[in-house]
Structures are given as structure tokens and as C-alpha cells.
Amino acid sequence: MKVKITLLICALIGLAFKGSEFINFSYPSYFPAPVYKSAYNTLSAEKIELGRLLFYDPILSKDNSISCASCHSPYNAFAHTDHDLSHGINDSIGTRNAPALFNLAWQKSFMWDGAIHNLDVQALAPLSHSKEMAETIQNVIVKLNKSEIYREAFYDAWQDSVATGEHFLKAIAQFQLTLVSANSKYDAVKAGELEFSPQEASGLELFNQNCNSCHQAPLFSTYEFANNGLSVDSTLNDFGRYGITQNSEDSLKFKIPSLRNLSYTYPYMHDGRFSTLHEVVNHYNTLRIDGSTNEHLSVPLNLSSKNKADLVSFLLALNDEEFVFNPQNKFPKQLIRTIQN
Amino acid sequence: MSNFSGKLFIAFMLISINFIGQNLQNDLLVDDSHSSIELKFRPEINRTPLVLNQSYYIPELKDSITIRKLKFYVSNISFYQSEEFIAQAEQRYFLFDLEDKKSMYRSIVLPNNAEFDNVKFNIGVDSTTQMKGAQGGDLDPMHGMYWSWQSGYVNFKLEGSAKSCPGRNHVFQFHIGGFQAPYNSLQNVHLSFDQKDELIIMLSLDTLFTQANITQDYKVMSPSERAIGFANQLPQIFNVKP
């Protein structure tokens, strides 16, 4: 009898967790508390799965040709390596590099200029942009409500088969929240499972001296905005954060990206101007400092060739292969049916 | 085991009965202690009710204007008896859209026998709510009142045309929003009225056009100084029907 009651209690706890935020969303103890307020959007397996369907479905674009994953591929840590600037509908080219998507729960704003303040509403930006998906949320909702597969998926997720803007956006946000990258060699060393090579250890020291103020461990970014000394590209005239705040102090500031998964997320910088890590390190090594550059970049790094190689070797220890090949994040097979229909 | 199942079944039945009972009680409560007031917004120009896509002459402008779109959020509607707070509308956010006639007439549930002689509300969506992420109902981003390129609701949307407006096809577009400092465009309205079963609030749009100079500023569509300037004009266009 006792055993059976215990089993029943275990089953009940199991059920409770099934609908709770422990699903697919775990992170190491040395990560800070997430910024995202899941109290307003409680995670569930069904909502995450609906979000995954939507993320990979080109139905989100005007001519059903472009999905989120078109520019945010799982094999590139959800960035895009083919293009320096984003590639959207009708071969349109945008003005910025598609950023990698991971550890989004710890970010307080989105886009290179921080235009979006909450992950829930981020999807509206690429969806409505004339050079990305060129669609409206109203029309996406009409298309989803015509699809039997989505009526089922919305019902499973929200106990309401009618798709709404709120449920659509929250489901996509849920899938993106589960994109947690915390299984690099750096994380294994943190957990005491592995040790850095002497070269990586030397690189870590250089990293701590020169990079950690902005690319703070363990997320490898403060997710603040900074001017890292890149000159403005006169073909784009993109002044970054200034476009949002209209504050001259924000001119040429862009959101600091994480340094995790660099092997998968080239080309680098907001306009994808550098295609190799070597070029990136050289930029900081020979930086021309002026009054507007970030305070932490007061002098060029001036690293020797050996030190540069050591630093890069540490940066490569931030690659998370398990994340990149995680089957839970990949294209959902049931979508093949949706697309064929 | 059979004994245990039996107990479980009885417990389940008891919970169900209790649940049904509570539902019945709730239904009764609603009938008993609530009444409602009809809230109507009536936009007008030169004291005549505004019809979309119809032309109106504004003497101060020496020009005629046509309105194509009028949509706005009203939130946190609170009723007072002199200074004393009486009740707040249960639904916190209302989207009024002149194109959707039904949306312009709303029934607000209030405690029975509540007496009030003045009302306060916001034009727009407050920043606390904006920070919460995607919302449903009247706040669903699919209603065309959420910016996509930058976060935030459009609090007040007015579009139309006038010959003297230098924009493309003489079109003016005012999408007034912004909730983050220094460009928080939320506005407060405070109106006194004689209590009736309905509260009719007029929007004197001609006032807006005599204040805003559409020959110069005809496109305000982002959180900015100009948006704040426009938003500051809004409370005075709301009046209770005499």
C-alpha cells in the first residue's frame, strides 16, 4: 500500500513538472537568474513544440518561402553563415547580420540595436520587415487557423484551437527560450569534468585581462551596448542604438554578442564584415581609439602572435557542439506534412 | 487496493460536487451584486459625428480633412464620487476602433448601486503592462496597434488626408506611442459627469487639427519629442456630452 501511494505521488509530481518550466529549460548553477519572466508565459512541452513548428515553418512569410530557420539555422547556433547581411524574401538583402540565437532568457533586449524589449514580441520584427518575411501577424493568424495541423497543435498547447497573436508569439518565444547553450569545454571545466590545455589556460588569462568586461563569463556578454571602434560602413550608414534612443552618446553602439559558439556563427560583427576570428582579434589588436570608443577599449590589445593564437584557442573552447546538434532543436518532422498540405 | 480506489473515487466525487456548487454560487453572485454602465466614445468634427472617409471643412485650416482610421486604447477606467474611489472597470484595456462600430460601445461591469460623478482613465497602455510581453484580448498584437520594428503599443492612431498636407497623396499619419523614458506618451483624462446608465464621451477631433500643424508635421510614427507633443494635446479633446 505504502509503495503504491509513493508511486502515485511520484506520478503526480511527474505530471506537475510536465507542465512546468523544468521542461527542456535547464541551465548550470553558475548562470545568473534568467531575465525573462516566465510567470507571464509558463513553459510547457506542448507550447515549446508548437513554437518549434512555427520557427521552422515558412508559412510565417508572405509567399511561404522564408522561415525563422532560414536565417537562424541550428547548425550555425541559429545564426546564418552564408551572408554578411540577412537574406530574406525575393532575395532581399537587409542591413544587418542575422545574430545567433541562444541563451535568450538572459537577454534584456533584442536586435543589434535593442529595439525590442521582450522576447515575446521579437518575432514581429522579422515577420513584418519588408526585406525579411514581409508578412503581417494578422495574415499569419488567418493562415494558421486554416491549417488542421495547427488547430490541433494550438489546442494541445493552449486548450484553444483558435490561433491568436498572443498564443502564436508566446509559443515561438517558448521554443527560443529552450535554446540554452551551456555544454562547451568551458562548461565541462567549470563542472570539474575536463581541464583546459596549457594554451587554452593562457588564452583564458588573456581573455580575463582584455575581453571579460564586455564579454562577461559565463554568458560571455553583458548584453549591453558598446562602440567597439568599427568605422561606419558608408554603404549602410547604420548608427546602431542611436536609431532607437536618438541620443548622440549611443551613436555606433551595438549590442555586445556572446562569444559562445564562434566556430558556427561567422561572419562576425553587426554587418558581418569579418569572416574569420583572426580578423576580429586583429581588429582589437590594432584598434584606432577615439573619444567615442568603449571605455574598456582604451588601448589596442597589442598581442603577440603567440598570444593571439592562445586567445583564439580559449575562444574555441566556448563552442558547444552538443547544442548545435541537439535533436530537440532541429527541424520537426511533422512539419513535412504541414508543408505538403 | 480496492479499498484505496474506493476512497479515491469518493474524494473525487466530493471535489466535483463542491466545484459544481461553487459555479452555481458564482452565477448567482454576478446577478446579485453587479450592474453595468454603457461607455460610448463619439468622435466628432465641428460638433457633427465623424464618419470615416467623409470630408469635413475646418475653418482654422482653411482646408477640408478626411479621416480614414481612428483607433485608440483606453485603460484603467476608474469611477469616483468627488475624491473617493468607488470602482475600477474589470476589463483593464479597451481598444476603440471607429471602423468596428461595436468596439465604440462598451458595457462596463460595476458593483451594484455604486454612485459616482467623475471618471479617470488613461489614453494608451501603461509601461508596467507593456513590459509583460505578448498579451491577449484587446491587447493582442494582431489588432494592428503594436509596432514591429520597435517594441511598444501605438496608443492613439489617426490617419487621413487633407489637400494642404504635403505628404505623399496628401496623407497624414499619427501613430502616437512610446512607453520608455524619456518618451512615455501615456495620458490621463479626468471628466465629471451626471450619473446615468450611459457615459457618452465625445472626441473633438477638430481641436486636434487646429493645434497640430499638418502642413508641417504630418507623420509622427515613433516614440519621440514630437509624439509627446501630440500626445499632450489628447486629453483636452475628450469631453462628456453635455
User: Residue B44 in contact with residue B202, Cβ under 8 Å?
Assistant: yes
Rounded Cα gap, residues A109 and A242, in angstroms: 15
What chain B residue is nearest to A128 in terms of C-alpha separation? B148
Q: pTM (2 decimals)?
A: 0.86
DSSP state at residue B200: E
Here the cell at position A206 is: 588573456
From the list B131, B135, B148, which residue is nearest A124 (CB)? B148
B172 within some domain: yes
Cα–Cα distance list, A20 to A6, A155, A292 (Å):
21, 18, 46
pLDDT tens digit at each of 242 positions of chain B: 445 555 555 555 545 545 544 444 444 444 557 788 999 999 999 999 999 999 999 988 899 999 999 999 999 999 999 999 999 999 999 999 999 999 999 999 888 878 899 999 999 999 999 999 999 999 999 999 999 989 999 999 999 999 999 999 999 999 999 999 899 999 999 999 887 788 999 999 998 988 778 888 899 999 999 999 999 999 999 999 77
Question: Domain A28-180+325-340, CATH 1.10.760.10 — does that match?
Answer: yes
B56 within some domain: yes
Residue B77 belongs to what domain range? 35-240
B11 to chain A, any CB pair closer than 8 A? The answer is no
Q: What pLDDT is recorded for position B50?
A: 95
Q: What pLDDT is recorded for position B9?
A: 56
Q: What angle do CA B177, B71, B230 make, to 5 degrees?
A: 40
Cα–Cα distance list, A325 to A74, A78, A205, A316 (Å):
7, 11, 30, 17
The residue extents of the domains of chain A are 28-180+325-340, 185-319
Here the cell at position B124 is: 494608451
Here the cell at position B58 is: 475646418
Neighbours of B13 (CB within 10 A): 10
Q: Cβ contact (<8 Å) for B142 and A244?
A: no
Q: What pLDDT is recorded for position B111?
A: 83
B155 within some domain: yes
Q: What pLDDT is recorded for position B138?
A: 97
Cell numbers 486554416 correspond to: A146
Residue A12: band (very low, low, confident or very high) from pLDDT cuts 50, 70, 90 = very low
Q: DSSP 3-state assignment of A271? A: coil
Radius of gyration of chain B (CA): 23
**Per-residue model confidence as pLDDT tens digits over A253-297:** 999 999 999 999 999 999 999 999 999 999 999 887 777 788 888
| ipTM, 2 dp | 0.83
Which chain A residues have a beta carbon less than 8 Å from that of B180?
117
Length of chain B: 242
Quick check: do A28-180+325-340 and A185-319 share a fold? yes
**Helix H segments across B86-160?**
127-130
Q: Cβ contact (<8 Å) for B132 and A141?
A: no
pLDDT > 90: percent of chain A: 82
Tell me the mean pLDDT in the region A201-206: 98
**Per-residue model confidence as pLDDT tens digits over A129-170:** 999 999 999 999 999 999 999 999 999 999 999 999 999 999
Report whether pLDDT(A11) > 50: no
Query: Which CATH code for domain A185-319?
Result: 1.10.760.10
B4 within some domain: no
pLDDT > 70: percent of chain A: 92
Between residues 198 and 227 of chain A, which touch chain B (CB distance below 8 Å)? none
Instruction: State the nearest Cα–Cα gap between A117 and chain B, in angstroms.
Output: 6
B13 within some domain: no
